[in-house]
Amino acid sequence: MKRLLVALLAVVMAVLLVCASGCNNTESGISGGRSGSADTGNGNKRSSTATRMVTTGRHYALVLKSDGTVWAWGSNSYGQLGDNTTTERGIPAQVENLSGIISIACGDHHCLALDGNGKVWAWGGNDYGEIGDGTDMQRQTPVQVQNLSGVVTISAGGFHSLVVKRDGTVWAWGRNDYGQLGNGSNANNREPVKVQDLDGVVAVAGGSMHSLALKKDGTVWAWGENDWGQLGDNDAGSYENDATINKNVPVRVQNLSDVISISSGACHVFAQKSDGTVWGWGRNINDQIDDNESNIYRVPVPVQDLNGVSAVAGGDSHSLAIKSDGTVSAWGWHIYGQLGDDQVQTINDVLAVSGGYDFSIVLCNDGSVWAWGANEHRQLSDAVANIDIIDDWSQVQTQHIQTTPVRVLGPDGEGFFNVN
């Protein structure tokens, strides 16, 4: 019954949720690079070679190829495609001036790349200093983040950036009005600042306005916005006392241990434990955690039927997982077709998944990339017949949705893109 009500009221809820909270702002919604995993027995180690990756921003996608180059397509109004333009693209283009990259991450409108020397590069939107170059200037090509070296892990929140250094400390920069930088302040920072009272960290994940860290001991710590319980500390405040429920220094997520990986959607969070179980907390209005009656989980709860999955990812209000047989499972908000249709189950040998605001994307071991959901900014690539952008919401709803997965086209618009 709840799923039916959500489907009927999804548009109404989307409007009602536009208020002061970061998670209640329609500009707050992606998860692409917001995940982290680690072998908690070995501590921080940075690979010197590229790991094939796919990640998503609000309406765009970013892919890391095995040769260490980065490619992007979709919305580009902030220069987030890194091609020295602000022109929307429906076929992948190589991000300029980048090589030897080993990891990538996306925020709403900005991107991060980590090279094999431990340096971080950033481009795209920079209104809050999320590029980390000491300015608030939009960057259409990558620039190096200032005063930062020895980085082993990166992640991007909605409008902030997170990294783990080789010494296990966490550094952050960008938007900070909810305390998402974790430095005991609520002032934005245009250069990296150290997260307080946190060491031994092996992975980080950024949500819309919150941040998470996984420590070597298997515990998870969180800071930033907490209106929807995304810090997992069981603080049941209300919108009237944000200052008390939001945290600008890390707090430990309750009732959770032996964690091996973390990931975050806009306002919901997942943790995978060493026993193969998956736990979730935060916003659940669209069943993006589970289909129980609760709209908010302020402490972690076990997610049913997800034991043994190899990866979990959160979009704005939907979620994705790679199952043990190499296929994909999707649940949550579906108004844009981001859960796909039955054809999603025919994609197999999946290596990575990512959820944007209104679309989903997967990378297979054969190097192919598949996408489905909304396509109003060509984020599914021009494999979908493109039409002019139109302002009428009802037309966008019906004409820009692709529920059947499409394979992303190659750079010349001919053939198909391959990351191998």
Dihedral sign from CA coordinates of 166, 167, 173, 176: positive
Q: Does residue 334 fall inside a structural domain?
A: yes
Supply 221's token pair: 């710590």
- Please report the pLDDT score of residue 80 as a whole number: 98
In a domain, 418, yes or no: no
176 contacts 146 by C-beta, under 8 angstroms: no
pLDDT, average across residues 7-30: 38
Rounded distance between C-alpha atoms, residue 98 and residue 407, angstroms? 25
Domain count, the chain: 1
Range of the domain at 300: 2-407
Q: Which of 221, 324, 311, 205 has the alpha carbon at shortest distance from 266? A: 205
Please provide the DSSP assignment of 95-153 as one string.
Answer: PTT--SEEEEEE-SSEEEEEETTS-EEEEE--TTSTT-SSS---EEEEEEPTT---EEE
In a domain, 412, yes or no: no
Give the span between the Cα atoms of 245 and 232, in whole angstroms. 11
Q: What is the chain's mean pLDDT, rounded?
A: 87
Both structure tokens of 69? 């180059």
Taking CA 386 as the corner, what is the angle to CA 380 and CA 387, rounded to the nearest 5 degrees? 135
The two structure tokens encoding residue 37: 């995993």
Strand partners, 222: 212, 251
pLDDT tens readout for residues 75-132: 999 999 999 999 999 999 999 999 999 999 999 999 999 999 999 999 999 999 999 9
| Confidence (pTM) | 0.89
Q: Which residues contact 241 (CB under 8 A, 6 or more apart)?
A: none
Enter the DSSP assignment of 418. Answer: B
Is 413 part of a structural domain of the chain?
no
Model confidence at 405: pLDDT above 80: yes
Q: What is the CATH number of the domain that holds 147?
A: 2.130.10.30
